[in-house]
Amino acid sequence: MAYTIAFFGTKPYDEASFNDKNKEFGFEFRYYKGHLNKNNVLLTQGVDAVCIFVNDTADAEVINAMAANGVKLLALRCAGFNNVDLNAAANAGITVVRVPAYSPYAVAEYTVALMLSLNRKIPRASWRTKDGNFSLHGLMGFDMHGKTVGIIGTGKIAKILIHILKGFGMNVLAYDLYPDYNFAREEQIVYTSLDELYHSSDIISLHCPLTEATKYLINDYSISKMKDGVMIINTGRGQLIHTNALIEGLKNKKIGSAGLDVYEEESEYFYEDQSDRIIDDDVLARLLSFNNVIVTSHQAFFTREAMGNIAVTTLQNIKDFINHKPLLNEVKR
């Protein structure tokens, strides 16, 4: 009998990618569009493993219900695992695995796309010309060459981003709790303090994990230390930025622009078509009202290569679990 996996929160592109890669594995799939939660966890009855994404809920109640249904493995098809109660999983005997990296190039390249789009005001220019307005008023940007970019967190994605930005001729300041000085020498970048990074950067891009220490890293106090007109980019985690503080910074012109592929309350909106309803999140609605802010729906990862890597790594994690092999991508409490 084939090993059965229940997928939650799936879209057509998920099914296409996993079906294609499953030719090499031979698992049985059950796809569910709804996000995993306490109301539909009964759908995990009769399956061996459950596969979820960022907006699914795997709290203690859901974990315990899955365990009661006989589920032994929870496979995340993403890097983040803050939606999983790891203590409950360990106590219930459910192993948790994830996909730590799918395509660092995808996220790094998208980060640059946000920078360029904000700087050169490409969305506004495109809207204007479609309406027959070919004026240049209000569209002036700046040369990125010679400017200083501050990178917070220097993992795989950030390192690729730094390499790209060095190609623009930018000066790079970096901050990381665990600096990679060999990389810094190779790329001729400078590790510095957060205060110096805030003070000196024309653009700040966030690439650190979300922890208790980094939650709301960008807040009223840190924004007050930044250059006037600073550009802030977040393709990491929504809660790295205190959104109300960001809005205040935008209103008083301290922040010149912001590119956000993540939002701290995104689970209610992102990945779904909300065009036929009013956005009742006042904070998100306010963000969307700024013409110097770009908000996208957590899509930085979304390339053909990344989707293929997600599917292969997820299915290999499951195969390794079945065959009692070392789990390279296991997440433990």
Positions marked catalytic: 237, 266, 298
AA identity, residue 169: G
**Residue 277 pLDDT > 70, yes or no?**
yes
pLDDT at 274 (0 to 100): 85
CB < 8 Å & 24+ apart, contacts of 18-26 = 18/311, 18/314, 18/315, 20/308, 20/311, 21/308, 21/311, 21/312, 21/315, 22/311, 22/315, 24/315, 25/315, 25/318, 25/319, 26/2
pLDDT at 273 (0 to 100): 84
Domain ranges across the chain: 2-100+302-321, 103-293
* The CATH fold of domain 2-100+302-321: Rossmann fold (3.40.50)
**Residue 1 pLDDT > 80, yes or no?**
no
**Residue 175 pLDDT > 80, yes or no?**
yes
Average pLDDT over residues 297-303: 95
What tokens does 156 get? 């795989």
CB proximity list for 318: less than 8 A, separation 6 or greater: 3, 5, 25, 27, 49, 73, 75, 97
Closest CA to 158 of 143, 179, 142, 138: 179
Per-residue pLDDT tens for 222-257? 999 999 999 999 999 999 999 999 999 999 999 999
In terms of pLDDT, which residue wins out, 211 or 32?
A: 32
**Residue 260 pLDDT > 70, yes or no?**
yes
Q: How far apart are CA 104 and CA 306, in angstroms?
A: 9
* The CATH fold of domain 103-293: Rossmann fold (3.40.50)
Q: What is the dihedral of CA 295, 298, 301, 306, to 10 degrees?
A: -140
pLDDT band at 265 (very low <50, low <70, confident <90, very high): confident
What tokens does 64 get? 């315990």
Per-residue pLDDT tens for 71-84? 999 999 998 888 99
Least reliable range by pLDDT among 101-105, 140-144, 212-216: 101-105
Q: Would you say 24 and 313 are in contact if contact means Cβ atoms under 8 Å apart?
A: no
**Residue 66 pLDDT > 90, yes or no?**
yes
* Domain pair 2-100+302-321 / 103-293, same fold: yes
Average pLDDT over residues 137-151: 98
CB < 8 Å & 24+ apart, contacts of 270-276 = 270/55, 270/297, 270/298, 271/9, 271/11, 271/55, 271/297, 271/298
Per-residue pLDDT tens for 15-25? 999 999 999 99
Mean pLDDT of the chain: 96
Q: Would you say 111 and 161 are in contact if contact means Cβ atoms under 8 Å apart?
A: yes
pLDDT at 272 (0 to 100): 84
pLDDT at 54 (0 to 100): 87
What tokens does 20 get? 């294609």
**Residue 269 pLDDT > 90, yes or no?**
no
